Structure 1
Amino acid sequence: MNIAGDDMAMGGMHDEGANKNKSFGERLVSWLGRVHTMVIHFPIAMFIGAFGVELFGLWRQNRDYQRAAHVMLVVGALGAIVAAFLGWFAGGFYLWDRNPILMTHRWLGTSIAIFGIGLAYLATTYRRAPDRSRTVYWGLLGLMTLAISVQGFLGGTFMHGGLNHLAF
């Protein structure tokens, strides 16, 4: 059973011959889904990088790093929206999946995109009030980093064949 569609068979490899009998719309949906795996790495790097920059700024006791982290969060949030949108093309437009890994990955990714916008907004409000405690923001950014790590593991699990894909 291939939940993700014919294009995702054999570990994500695409069979060009399969497109000969598809309409332009079907080929476009298939292509948009395949672009998901290329786009996801940028928002991952931006969110995790923003967390790292914030921690570095805390360690150095220098608020100048907050601006860089804020920009990274905004760019990461926009990228996460694109990645989540393309992920729906990759996995199909279903609210429920028979594959629990795909379903968890789908909804966690959608939640990360939505939560990313909220986190970028929160960073903006904290930048406008620099004397305000940022403890809640740092905690939420840490949770976002953890959620992205779980999300990456689930995506790798789905694409590379099971829960043991990172076995040592």
Structure 2
Amino acid sequence: MVALKEVWGRDAERAEDRLRAVASWDERFTIAVDILGRRLGAHPPVDPQVAYAWRRTLSSRGRVRVDGLADEVGWSRKRLWSRFQSQLGITPKRAARLVRFDHAAHLLAAGHAAARIAAENGYVDQSHLHREVATFAGLTPTALAVAPWLAVDDVAWPASSPTQRPAKDGERIRDLR
């Protein structure tokens, strides 16, 4: 986490001054929408190939190879890597790892067994899943599964929500709300 000033420089001070100068939340939200809209419009759009690679990464739940993505968009691996990182701020491989971890984390929170998650979601073995959880969350899979900040949301994660489906034989399901 960094201060807004570190990201936006002097523009952050101007934005804060504008937000402090108004009395109501409605006015603040109007100003925030205006500021964010201008900032988004000031940057060139993401290359269609990068957007496609990102959508494929999400739809595959992180189980996509960078070489395959590069072939799909008609670029070299190096060009995809460079463009992806410059436009999204992360390499395609790291993005895939994070997307795969996110999916695994929500399955853990929904009560699925770590060994099953590892086997069905592209991890070499349960130890590999354990290392990824430690790398990204600093926790064990068991601790991550009950982390309060990973409560399952019925709207955002309907397929993994304990309130949306019955438990399968041997599956540990609990309502985290």
Computing the radius of gyration from Cα coordinates, the structure with the larger value is 2
TM-score interval (norm. to shorter): under 0.3
More contact order relative to length (CA 8 Å, sep ≥ 6): 1
Of Structure 1 and Structure 2, the greater helix share is in 1
TM-score normalised by the chain length of structure 1: 0.27
TM-score normalised by the chain length of structure 2: 0.26
